[in-house]
Amino acid sequence: MSKLLEVQDLHTRFHTTEGVVRAVDGISYDVSEGETVAIVGESGCGKSVGAMSILRLIPKPPGEIVEGSRILFAGEDLLSMDDDRIRHIRGGQISMVFQEPMTSLNPVLTIGLQLTETMMLHLGLDQAAADRRAIELLEMVGIGEAERRLRQYPHHFSGGMRQRVMIALALSCRPRLIIADEPTTALDVTIQAQILELMRTLTHQMGVALIIITHNLGVVARYAERVIVMYAGKIVETGTAEQIYHRPRHPYTIGLLKSVPRMDMARGKRLQPIEGQPPDLTRLGEGCPYRPRCAWAEDRCERSTPALENVGEGQIAACFNHRALADKESLAV
Amino acid sequence: MNAPTHASTAFEHSPPHEPVAGESLLEVRDLKKHFPVVEGVVFQRAVGQVKAVDGVSFSIRKGETLGLVGESGCGKTTTGRCVLQLERPTSGEIVFDGVNLEELPDQELIAWRRKIQVIFQDPYSSLNPRMKIGTMLDEPMRIHGIESNPSRRRRRIAELLEICGLPEKFADRYPHEMSGGQRQRVGIARALSLNPEFIVCDEAVSALDVSIQAQVINLLEDLRHEFDLTYLFIAHDLSVVHHLCNRVAVMYLGKIVELADSKELFGNPMHPYTKALLSAVPIPDPVVEAKRAHQTLKGEVPSPMNPPPGCVFHPRCQLAVEGCSRSEPELRELRPGHWVACTQVS
């Protein structure tokens, strides 16, 4: 598979009264054509800012994508292209599905208008063709009586239905990449399953690459092929889903997996939380950002920041101790 | 800033033991809460009613944690608010420690409110932003006359903070100076300040990040042992409920559809809704997930203003037969302690 998206040394900062927040602090990763990649991490780890940076949706000021960062999409640098060109890509070749289906649709426009407007703009369809395709799209995402529904406003739709509309919108211009930022976090669990199932089927059918940003480790396990774990603005580990869940090599990944209660495990076992809290991103100094919470931290972790290293079969982790961790079988959940 | 490590110090605790069958501390009998739906701005008239809770009964034994699960709008929070007497039920009884709270006049109810406390979901909106943490913990103790001596109250505040894994100096802070996890610890300290016997945890850990959530779950478990607490744990996250609760009740559209011991409910779910609900929860293990059969529930929850006739679940149910739309199924005890409201399973 060829590389569709290449993020190279992306730094995104916010200038605030409290100081400079290094929200994304030098991340690099690729996404291949048709691949599903999950980016996981807790609040404030930079997973959303990283994704918004791809489409240059970072408000400036206070935000800033630092000089030297590169994001190549099908070989073209998204960060250096002019505004017209990025607008063409945004919503066309790369589309987004946001967390809040309540706020990401325009409340005063009909669903039909929001769908057809985009297609007329990006695909150059006329009104009649756009209408036909809008009906097709709604049917595809499982909304019945599509013709009638097109004339309705977002408030006529439930949360799950709005998210279906968002998916229809995201697919409408035949994108090559969809970025879904916590697409099901606001939804109930049975609706979450419907929506994720739908996204999986449709992206596979159409060969669209998908980046799912989520904090839900269950969702990642069910839907992602490759996983990127972020902490304090950095990527700490990358691997296939199976590698990440069954032989994690970064203490943070191990900590996350031991923190989640599992429905398929016997009850009565105590959870092993990660102690402490994520660091203040305005005060990141030298050394590994995870060090204060890490059970394996040593002196050298304070002096220098571990680089991402190959830990075998394409899995990458940023920990000085990954070899020692690999020897401890018991760490695997 | 390094965070509280109370949870870890209690690491050697034995696993949560199942409470012995004993007398029930709380009994909810045929609880109904209907809200009128009004239309019009000046001349308001009722155009219908939402049956948020429609005939719910359960009991909780002393020392037990009962989980109440279900999706948005199923009535789990309203049930909790009725137990807390924050809502007066339309009908039904709430019996706490042998006393029917519904029959008590407001004046006498105050003494009972002390014993039944709550931890809310959102640590951002449930704490007064203009109050220092210390004041927030002091106020309920003063009002309920727990301790009249101010300096002894101060000592107690420091103690409460420590129990919840927060440093003493936090008494002088405001909520905005704290993280979400720390605020939730304050919410827990506030609930504990009145020496309650019973705590309603309404989505108490839902807003927290995974690593912080695990800390708070462990804290809740430790407190239950230490202070002999009984919890009604309302949540939508089934993995957390499975971990924390001894027994679980599943609600759908204002009714309990299944109630059983936690191990039994998760190991052998019988109601078609429970089965679909459990199947929808992804397990954080790709190998397990690849082997699991996923059953996706069709459609959405109908409006509680106009619930379907008969069994409220029948329009989405795979097992539904003709009779399901005519008569409402009763909760039946199909196995010891395992109650199911479905005519099609046995």
Residue-by-residue DSSP string for B50-75? EEEEEEEEEEEETT-EEEEE--TTSS
In chain B, the percentage of residues whose pLDDT exceeds 90 is 68
pLDDT in tens, B94-107: 999 999 998 988 88
* Residue A74 Rama label (left phi>0; alpha psi -120 to 50; beta): left
Position A263 in a domain: yes
Q: Which residues of A touch B208 (CB under 8 A)?
A: none
**Strand blocks (E) in chain B:** 24-39, 45-61, 65-69, 91-96, 99-100, 116-119, 198-202, 230-235, 247-252, 255-261, 332-335, 338-340
CB B63 within 8 A of CB B230: yes
pLDDT at position A66 is 94
* A273 in any annotated domain: yes
Query: Which chain B residue is nearest to residue A280, measuring alpha carbons?
Result: B1
d(CA B9, CA A7): 42
Residue A215, chain B, CB below 8 Å: the answer is yes
Residue A104, in any domain of the structure: no
By the 8 A CB rule, do A78 and A7 touch?
Answer: no
Q: How close does chain B come to A240, measured CA to CA in Å?
A: 10
Residue A197 touches chain B, beta carbons under 8 Å: yes
* Residue A326 belongs to some domain of the structure: yes
**What does the alpha-carbon distance between residue A171 and residue A132 come to, in Å, rounded to a whole number?**
15
Bond prior to A62 in cis (omega within 30° of 0): yes
Per-residue pLDDT of chain A (333 residues; tens, 9 = 90+): 689 999 999 999 999 888 899 999 999 999 999 999 999 998 889 999 999 999 999 988 899 999 999 999 999 999 999 999 999 899 889 999 988 777 789 999 999 999 999 899 899 999 999 999 999 999 888 888 889 999 999 998 888 888 889 999 999 999 999 999 998 887 888 888 888 998 999 999 999 999 999 999 999 999 999 999 999 999 999 999 999 999 999 999 999 999 999 998 888 788 999 988 888 888 888 899 999 999 899 999 999 999 999 998 899 999 999 888 877 644 444
Q: How far is A46 from chain B (nearest CA, A)?
A: 14
Q: Is the pLDDT of residue B283 over 50?
A: yes
Query: What average pLDDT does the segment B277-294 reach?
Result: 91
- For residues B186 and B176, give the distance between their C-alpha atoms in angstroms, rounded to a whole number: 12
Whether residue B284 and residue A161 make contact (CB cut-off 8 A), yes or no, is: no
Average pLDDT of chain B to the nearest whole number = 88
Q: Classify residue A264: in a domain, yes or no.
A: yes
Averaged pLDDT, B190-201: 94
Q: Which two tokens stand for residue B63?
A: 């020392």
Number of neighbouring beta carbons within 10 Å of residue A299: 7
- Is A272 close to B214, i.e. CB distance below 8 A? yes
- Quick check: B14 pLDDT over 80? no
Of A193, A273, A333, the CB nearest to B215: A273
Pick the closest to residue A258 from A269, A268, A272, A237 (CA basis).
Answer: A272
- Look at B262 and A267 and tell me if their CB atoms are within 8 Å: yes
DSSP 8-state secondary structure symbol assigned to residue B211:
H
CB contact under 8 A, A221 and B181: no
Picking from A197, A223, A259, the nearest residue to B214 by CB comes out as: A259
Average pLDDT over every residue of B242-260: 96
Q: Are residues A153 and A107 in contact, defined by beta-carbon separation less than 8 angstroms?
A: yes
A residues 262-291 near B, CB within 8 Å? 262-264, 267-278, 280
DSSP for B89-135, written as a single string: -SEEEEEETTEEGGGS-HHHHHHHHHHEEEE-S-TTTSS-TTS-HHH
Q: For chain B, give the number of residues.
A: 346
The answer on pLDDT for B168 being more than 60 is yes
Global ipTM: 0.86
Whether the pLDDT of residue B20 is over 60: the answer is no
Whether A46 contacts chain B with CB within 8 A: no
A27: its two tokens: 């991340």
CATH number, span B6-37+48-289: 3.40.50.300
Q: Do A189 and B181 touch (CB under 8 A)?
A: no
Instruction: Answer yes or no: do B300 and A262 touch at CB < 8 A.
Output: no
* Exposure letters B79-117 (e unless 16+ CB within 10 A, then b): bbbbbbbebebbebebbbbeeebbeeeeeeeeeebbebb
pLDDT tens track for B148-160: 899 999 999 999 9
- CA-to-CA distance for A29 and A8, rounded, in angstroms? 7
The phi-psi region of residue A276 (left if phi > 0; otherwise alpha if psi is between -120 and 50; otherwise beta) is left
* Domain presence at residue A17: no
- The residue extents of the domains of chain B are 6-37+48-289
d(CA B174, CA B168): 13
For residue B11, what pLDDT band results from cuts at 50, 70 and 90? very low
The residue-averaged pLDDT of B197-222 equals: 92
* Residue B19 pLDDT > 80: no
Supply the range of the domain harboring residue A320: 252-333
Q: Which residue of chain A comes nearest to B18, CA vs CA?
A: A268
C-beta of residue B218 within 8 angstroms of C-beta of residue B2: no
Closest alpha carbon to A262 in B281, B269, B273: B281
B182: nearest CA partner in chain A: A277
Q: Tell me, yes or no, whether A260 lies in a domain.
A: yes
Question: Which residue has better confidence, B15 or B318?
Answer: B318
What six digits make up the tokens of B20? 């012995």
- Structure tokens belonging to residue B76: 């789990």
Residues of chain A in contact with residue B180, where contact means CB-CB under 8 angstroms, are 43
Distance from CA of A276 to the nearest CA of B (A): 4
Mean pLDDT of B260-288: 94
Which residues, other chains included, contact A32 with Cβ-Cβ below 8 Å and sequence gap of 6+? A1, A2, A3, A4, A209
Please determine, for residue B6, whether its predicted confidence score (pLDDT) is greater than 70.
no
Sort residue A284 into left (φ over 0), alpha (ψ -120 to 50) or beta.
beta
Question: How much of chain B exceeds pLDDT 70, in percent?
Answer: 94
Residue A205 lies in a domain: no
Q: Tens digit of pLDDT for each residue in B67-121?
A: 999 988 899 999 999 999 999 999 999 999 999 998 988 888 888 999 999 999 8
Among chain A residues, CA nearest to B287: A242
Identify residue A33 by its one-letter amino acid code: E
Query: CB–CB of A270 and B221 under 8 A?
Result: yes
Q: Which of B8, B72, B212 sits opposite A188 (nearest CB)?
A: B72
What distance in Å separates the CA atoms of residue A126 and residue A131, rounded to the nearest whole number? 9
Contact call for A264 and B279, based on CB within 8 A: no
Q: How distant is the alpha carbon of residue B132 from its chain centre?
A: 27
What pLDDT is recorded for position A266? Answer: 83
CB contact under 8 A, B286 and A245: yes
Helices A251-259 & B210-227 angle (0-180, nearest 10): 50
Number of domains in chain A: 1
Determine contact: A188 vs chain B, CB below 8 A.
Answer: yes
Over the stretch B31-60, which tens digit does the pLDDT of each residue have? 999 998 888 878 888 888 899 999 999 999
